[in-house]
């Protein structure tokens, strides 16, 4: 029984170090998000066009 508890404890420690750590959402993360505009279907229905808007943190736009 003691070996089982030791093994379980060791497994818990190993799993906690392997799982990714959570971090706070920063303004830099916000600038990495790209926005996709409304899709427009071509008259023949074979193509779809849409806009992608991205932002640049260093330029502030």
Q: Per-residue pLDDT averaged across 23-42, rounded?
A: 87
Q: How far apart are CA 47 and CA 45, in angstroms?
A: 6
3-state helix, strand, coil in the chain (%, to 5): 35, 15, 50
pTM of the model: 0.45
Alpha helices by DSSP H, listed for 1-61, are 2-18, 27-31
User: pLDDT by residue (tens digit) across 6-32?
Assistant: 788 777 777 766 666 678 888 888 888
Alpha-carbon distance values, 9 to 3, 5, 14, 56 (Å): 10, 6, 9, 46
Whole-number Å distance between alpha carbons of 57 and 43: 37
Two tokens at 22? 């959570």
Q: What is the pLDDT of residue 41?
A: 93
Average per-residue pLDDT for the chain: 82
């Amino acid at each position: 029984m003691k070996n089982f508890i030791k093994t379980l404890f060791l497994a818990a420690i190993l799993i906690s170090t392997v799982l990714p750590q959570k971090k706070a959402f920063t303004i830099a993360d916000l600038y990495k998000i790209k926005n996709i505009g409304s899709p427009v279907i071509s008259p023949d229905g074979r193509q779809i066009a849409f806009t992608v808007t991205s932002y640049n943190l260093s330029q502030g736009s």
